[in-house]
Amino acid sequence: MTSPTPSRRPEGRRDYVKTITSYLGNEMRRISFERSLRSRSCVHSIDERPEPSVLSCSGCDREGTTWVKLRMCLTCGAVGCCDTSVGRHAVGHFESTGHPVMRSIEPNDTWGWCYVGEAYLVLGGAAGAGADR
C-alpha cells in the first residue's frame, strides 16, 4: 500500500502565491500597457500605390465645394480632399468606410496617413519618419 500524498501544504506556500500573484499582476499591467501603445502604432505601408483613377474629389464634385489638396484611399482608390479643404472628404471617407490608410496624390508628395494608428507613413520607409505635414 502506498502512502497517500500529504494534504498539508508546505510552509511558505502562501508567500509564494502572494509573490507570484503580484508578479503576474505587474506583468499583466505591463503587457496591457504595451498593447495599448501598440494599438496606436501602425502596421500599414504605402509602398503599394495604386494610381488614382481620377484627379478630383468626388465629394466636392457632388457638393460643389472646392478642394485644396487631394488624398487617395489605399484600400479602394477613392479620392478625397484634405483636412484643409472645406469638405474634408478624405477623412469623411475613412469615417464612413473604415478604410484606414490614405496617401497624398499631390505631385512630389511621398507620404500617407493611417487614421487608425494616427501615423505618418513615408514611401519605402518606417512610419512617422518626419514626413512633411
Binding site for Zn ion (CB under 5 A): 42, 44, 57, 59-60, 67, 73, 75-76, 78, 81, 87, 89, 99, 114, 117
* Neighbouring C-alpha atoms within 13 Å toward the C-beta of 68: 8
Smallest gap, in angstroms, from Cβ of residue 24 to Zn ion?
31
Query: Which cell numbers hold the place of 36?
Result: 495599448
Smallest gap, in angstroms, from Cβ of residue 33 to Zn ion?
20
131 with 118: CB under 8 angstroms? no
Q: Which is nearer to Zn ion, 49 or 99 (CB)?
A: 99
Smallest gap, in angstroms, from Cβ of residue 110 to Zn ion?
17
Query: Which cell numbers hold the place of 20?
Result: 507570484
φ, ψ for residue 62, nearest 5 deg? -75, -40
Question: For residue 121, what are the β-bridge partners?
Answer: 112
Q: Which is nearer to Zn ion, 4 or 64 (CB)?
A: 64
Q: Which is nearer to Zn ion, 28 or 76 (CB)?
A: 76
